[in-house]
Amino acid sequence: MVERSRTLVVLSHLVMVLGLLIVAFPLYLAIIASTHTAQQIVQAPMPLLPGGNVVDTFRSALFGGGDGAGSTAPAGRMLWVSLVTALVIALGKIAISLLSAFAIVYFRFPLKNFFFWAIFVTLMLPVEVRIMPTYKVVSDLGMLNTYAGLTIPLIASATATFLFRQFFLTVPDELVEAARVDGAGPMRFFKDILLPLSKTSIAALFVIQFIYGWNQYLWPLLVTTSEDMYPVVIGIKRMIAGGDAANDWNIVMATAILAMLPPAIVVVLMQKWFVKGLVDTEK
């Protein structure tokens, strides 16, 4: 910065700490709640310092066995469903988009522009606005309560295709020429040159899509009706039922922490790619 003013530095830190407190408070409260028993939380105001019930709470959250009014299904299974869903969505999207972007950028074929626009249009409509008919298709195909039903309809969007198309367009033509001179066919070029070059784009996209998949709510709410196919985000919502006092809030909050942890870890550890992914996917 230009000037060195002590007051400004102090003020900056003050504002940031204040912002941090507001952002962190809901998370802090969730952590605290998960360390108490359900009875302690129901007595308003709940304690604001950690208690000693951590192991019990997380055990009931992970393996089931709470006695709240809502669902008491074990979060362990739900976390697994969420993980599979998020991975299939992220990897599936990346795989099909790499292939189609490769076709669009490196080949000339009839109706190319038509297909390009057909894919482009899908960018515009999130699954939220076409839930009813999409639900009908999935149910007609017998895909309710399956991983396929949870994931494939969410793969049907073109964000990734565009990202890769943009990136491929920046790859120098000399590389293709050199590959051709050396006798490499298109798939060889794709595998040995294009894929290694795309590594950072793939990582960035993976972070964004993993979080997108993990945090889905409306879609799984519609296509899953059996407890063993609930992703964890749905599971939390179903644990809350009846009056406030009837719920095991400590277990609800422990499950919420378990649900936040994987995407939070991905975001924090892969921060560099995360920021790149955000900026790239929105261009």
Partner 1 sequence: MEKRVLFKSAWLPWVLLAPQLIVISVFFFWPAGQALLQSFQLQDTFGTSTEWVGMDNFKSLFADRSYLESFKTTAFFSVLVAVLGIGISLVLAVFADRIVRGAMFYKTFLIVPYAVAPAVAGVLWLFMFSPTLGVVAYALGKLGIDWNYLLNSNHAMALIIMAAVWNQISYNFLFFLAGLQSIPKSLVEAAAIDGAGPWRRFWSIQLPLLSPTTFFLLVINIVYAFFNTFGIVDATTQGGPGQDTMILVYKVYNDGFKNGDLGGSAAQSVILMAIVIVLTVVQFRYVEKKVQY
Region 141-200 residues binding partner 1, contact defined as CB under 8 A = 152-153, 155-158, 161, 169, 173, 176-177, 180, 185-187, 189
CB 70 within 8 A of CB 221: no
Question: Coil, helix or strand for 52?
Answer: coil
> Rule CB under 8 A: which of 223-242 touch partner 1?
233-234, 236-237, 240
> Rule CB under 8 A: which of 7-36 touch partner 1?
8-9, 11-13, 15-16, 19-20, 22-27, 29-30, 33
Task: Decide whether 22 or 55 has the Cβ nearer to partner 1.
Answer: 22
From the list 56-64, 66-74, 129-137, 195-203, the region that binds partner 1 by CB under 8 A is 129-137
> Rule CB under 8 A: which of 51-90 touch partner 1?
none
Distance CA 38, CA 46 (A): 10
The phi and psi torsions of 71 (rounded to 5 degrees) equal: -65, 145
Q: How far is the CB of 222 from partner 1 (least distance, A)?
A: 7
Distance CA 259, CA 256 (A): 5
**Sign of the dihedral defined by the CA atoms of residues 158, 204, 127, 230, in that order:** positive
Residue from the set 69, 72, 221, 281 that interacts with partner 1 by CB under 8 A: 221
Q: How far is the CB of 64 from partner 1 (least distance, A)?
A: 19
Query: What DSSP assignment string belongs to 157-193?
Result: --HHHHHHHHHHHHS-HHHHHHHHHTT--HHHHIIII
Task: Decide whether 52 or 172 has the Cβ nearer to partner 1.
Answer: 172
Task: Decide whether 128 or 192 has the Cβ nearer to partner 1.
Answer: 128
Distance CA 93, CA 152 (A): 9
Give the angle subtended at the CA of 79 by the CAs of 73 and 82, to the nearest 5°: 115
Residue from the set 65, 67, 128, 225 that interacts with partner 1 by CB under 8 A: 128
Task: Decide whether 69 or 152 has the Cβ nearer to partner 1.
Answer: 152
Q: How far is the CB of 183 from partner 1 (least distance, A)?
A: 13
Task: Decide whether 3 or 182 has the Cβ nearer to partner 1.
Answer: 3
Residue 100 as a binder of partner 1 (CB under 8 A): the answer is: yes
Which amino acid would we find at residue 92?
A: G
- Count of beta carbons in the 10 Å neighbourhood of residue 244: 11
Question: Coil, helix or strand for 64?
Answer: coil
Distance of CA 199 to the CA centre of its chain: 19
> Rule CB under 8 A: which of 244-283 touch partner 1?
244-245, 249, 252-253, 256, 259-260, 263-264, 266-268, 271, 274-275, 278-279, 282-283
Q: How far is the CB of 35 from partner 1 (least distance, A)?
A: 14
Q: How far is the CB of 80 from partner 1 (least distance, A)?
A: 17
Q: Give the burial class of 129: count Cβ atoms within 10 A of its Cβ; 0-12 exposed, 13-18 middle, 19 or more buried.
A: exposed
CB 175 within 8 A of CB 105: no
Distance CA 77, CA 154 (A): 21
Task: Decide whether 108 or 226 has the Cβ nearer to partner 1.
Answer: 108
Q: How far is the CB of 50 from partner 1 (least distance, A)?
A: 15
Distance CA 279, CA 283 (A): 7
Residue from the set 52, 124, 182, 183 that interacts with partner 1 by CB under 8 A: 124
